[in-house]
Amino acid sequence: MSAKTYKNLIGGEWVGSRSGQTFENLNPADTRDVIGVFQRSDQRDVDDAVAAAKQAFERWRLVPAPKRAEIIFRAGEILQERKEEYARQMTREMGKVIKETRGDVQEAIDTAFYMAGEGRRQFGATVPSELPSKFAMAVRVPHGVCGMITPWNFPMAIPSWKLLPALVCGNTCVIKPAEDTPLSTLNLVKALVDAGLPKGVVNVVTGFGPEAGAPIVESSDVRAMSFTGSSEVGRLVGEAAARTFKPCSLEMGGKNAIIILEDANLDLALDGVLWGAFGTTGQRCTATSRVIIQKSVYRQFADRLIYRAQRLKVGSGLDESADIGPQINQQQVETTGKYVEIGKREGARLELGGKRVTGPEYEHGWFFETTVFTEVDPGMRIAQEEIFGPVVSLIPCENFEQAIRISNRIPYGLSSAIYTRDVNRAFLAMRDIDAGITYVNAPTIGAEVHLPFGGTKATGNGHREGGMGAIDFYTQWKSIYVDYSDRLQRAQIDTGE
């Protein structure tokens, strides 16, 4: 049985790439399973998509925001109806276990319902004028065509963070999903189309970064750009966007730490580290890749973590009993293996895992063992660089103050956490950790859609996704003055008289 062929969505029509070239989307748990055949788009396809979005913007921006929101709400209801179908398809194309892909789809549902409410809440400001008989206010207006490039690890949730706020604000969109997971983004967009989204308002081009992603960033008709991915690629996206003076939101890497103090509930902390480090096979920008542990409880915690981690079941994500699925592709497995070797050379102690999983049921997939390093120095590369695999480094510390310094001693600043029963230290950590997100007595994951999501330093460039952060990015301020004095008033010149 041949795999289904999926097409680009341009101007409301499902069309093939101009070149006629395609690529296959493979199941990382079993690469013999072809999820589908997708279009390998290039500059010409992007130009068509941008032109369609630009044309649609002239109509879409005039649709009242509450009416735009009604379409998004209906899309959320459609996603609810299709949740299990879309989650199973996501597990096949991305690999993470089915309970996690159900959560991924649920996050898109939550985002849809939240952003639908923003159709009636795009608040501006009215202020007193400095002159008599004059009215002053500021309103939000859309940018126009917004370009989006999304990653493979949350292939429906993250596109929803970008598309849905952009749409409710009146923008039109061109999105390129990751080449490893295009189907989940197409499923999200199909829900929008079935909910009544007009033609051309959202356009999807599938393909690879240099061929399909770069032309979106470089297009002068794309007026705002949102990218989630590595810091290395994000830097290129930011530089290219700057050349056409477009606002650019960058969400990039992380090297997140959990601090465990000696007064912590160690049972709770253990559950948190297992989920934070090995959930999504460690393939999260918010993954817990460092655990900073006070020395008095360090060995006790390390032994318990190793005992629990080696009992996690690795397997196909469609197996309801599996705890950990495959990595996304061969390159990611090789990267994880490379960092294991780096850690050993640096002098860290490998106490669990460290290699690809073998056996008949794993031979056609990209599986890697749960891996634990102990006695890790904060300056080691495995404690500084993002690995994006099921690898966690345990770092000993003397006290709370040193733990905070170690937590901050990285190029990134996305997520952070502390386990303690001391409320004073919890609040000091909230104040002093340099990160966009801090959890107390919970792991470094679990963003909620109504709060801003993003980080500091090399994690991002100051913008945020989620909640009002997204509304802020996908709108621009317009100040409006109405002078009803029926005479010339010259602002600061006349106010001084």
What domains can be seen in the chain, in order of their start residue? 8-252+460-479 (3.40.605.10), 256-440 (3.40.309.10)
Residue 106 has φ and ψ, to the nearest 5°, of -60, -35
**Catalytic entry in 93, 218, 251, 465:** 251
Residue 147 has pLDDT above 90, yes or no: yes
**CA dihedral sign of residues 297, 302, 307, 311:** positive
Amino acid at site 179: E
Question: Alpha-carbon distance 46 to 8, whole Å?
Answer: 10
- Mean pLDDT, residues 352-362 taken together: 96
Residue 51 has pLDDT above 70, yes or no: yes
Q: Is 100 a catalytic residue?
A: no
Question: Alpha-carbon distance 65 to 57, whole Å?
Answer: 13
| Contact call for residues 195 and 100 (beta carbons, < 8 A) | no
Question: Alpha-carbon distance 125 to 83, whole Å?
Answer: 39
Residue 297 has φ and ψ, to the nearest 5°, of -120, 5
Residue showing tokens 């629990």: 308
Residue 347 has pLDDT above 90, yes or no: yes
pLDDT of residue 7: 98
pLDDT of residue 2: 81
The CA distances from residue 91 to 33, 479, 494, in Å, are: 12, 47, 66
Residue 1 has pLDDT above 80, yes or no: no
| Contact call for residues 247 and 143 (beta carbons, < 8 A) | yes
**Catalytic entry in 285, 369, 397, 465:** 285
Please, which pLDDT band fits residue 447 given cuts at 50, 70 and 90? confident
**Host H or E run for residue 48:** helix 43-60
Q: Is 448 a catalytic residue?
A: no
pLDDT of residue 369: 98
Q: Please, what is the average pLDDT of the chain? A: 97
- Mean pLDDT, residues 144-167 taken together: 98
Beta strand 415-419 with 475-483 is unpaired
pTM of the full structure: 0.97
| Contact call for residues 154 and 104 (beta carbons, < 8 A) | yes
Which residue stretches of 154-258 are H helix?
A: 157-168, 182-194, 214-218, 231-243
pLDDT of residue 309: 98
> What residues form DSSP beta bridges with 236?
none
| Contact call for residues 437 and 444 (beta carbons, < 8 A) | yes
